Amino acid sequence: MTTKTKTPSTQDRGADVVAQGSSPARPLAGLLRRLVPALVVLRLAAGCGSSSNGELGVASFTVKNCGGSFSDIAGCDVKQLIATGGKIDMRAVRLSDSGPLQLRSDFPTVLSVTDLGGASYTLNALRPGKAIIIASMGSTDVDRVTMQVDDAAQIAFLTVSAEGGTFTAQPTGDIDGIFVLRDGISRMTLLFAQLDGAGNKMLGRETFATTLSPGLAYQSGKENPTALQFDLVRPAQSGNYTLLIKHTIGPARYKMQITVP
């Protein structure tokens, strides 16, 4: 296991709201401080996406569904790395008249493009590397964006979602963090982020597998999360339960102990 650096508890971190996972990370506190006032905003804004002009300044590329409520409200920047195995949705339009454009990849073994119809596409990150996403109208290429794929280095808990309990990061051992649920809390929504080796947030949904220990369950209708947002119900019995998240490709993982007093 990767050696962990000492991480203070939520109470000691002040405004910092990212807890380190299985390897050191640069906190995303400045970004998350803008999100703290209302967790419900994270839910309502999911999928709104964000747009960037192409490298030639002819087209606008909009990315959405890039990894969950947190990722989408924070912005799906095309300059951010996509985690290997992840998916994002993209649409491009010409700036002059908002005409929809077709998309293709110059390196489909790194980043493939699936046509969803209606000038919307899903990008699939298949292996580490760079690929150019080319926007065209008919047989004429009009603009492009360069995107990079890499394995996620770690998964970090976003303590903005710890309002239903007390969170403490664990610097050593198999458990990465302990979340003690408060009395009276019957449901919880726990948010995580996938980070690259420099601690930067990465794009990509459907990048992980999850294991819940017996007694821990999802809220009804939330059983198959595709993003790092886990909507859980309070276990009926007191005790310690675990939520294990592992990237399907690469070393990133996070194991949280959820304690019910």
Let me know if the fold of 10-29+152-260 is the same as that of 43-150: yes
Q: How many CB atoms lie within 10 A of CB 20?
A: 25
Assess contact for 155 and 20: CB atoms under 8 A: no
- Burial class of residue 175 (count of CB atoms within 10 Å of its CB; 0-12, 13-18, 19+): middle
User: Closest Cα partner for 54 from 116, 149, 150, 137?
Assistant: 137
pLDDT in tens, 185-227: 999 999 999 999 999 999 999 999 999 999 999 999 999 999 9
Instruction: Please give the CATH topology (third level) of the domain spanning 43-150.
Output: Immunoglobulin-like (2.60.40)
pLDDT in tens, 56-86: 999 999 999 998 565 466 668 899 999 999 9
Q: Which of the pair, 8 or 132, is modelled with greater confidence?
A: 132
The residue with tokens 């065209």 is 136
Q: Sketch the domain layout of the chain as residue ranges.
A: 10-29+152-260, 43-150
CATH for 10-29+152-260 (2.60.120, 2.60.40, 3.40.50, 3.30.70): 2.60.40
pLDDT in tens, 131-177: 999 999 999 999 999 999 999 999 999 999 999 999 999 988 999 99
Q: How many CB atoms lie within 10 A of CB 184?
A: 7
Assess contact for 136 and 102: CB atoms under 8 A: yes
Could you tell me the pTM of the whole model? 0.81
pLDDT band at 180 (very low <50, low <70, confident <90, very high): very high
User: Closest Cα partner for 158 from 10, 4, 51?
Assistant: 10
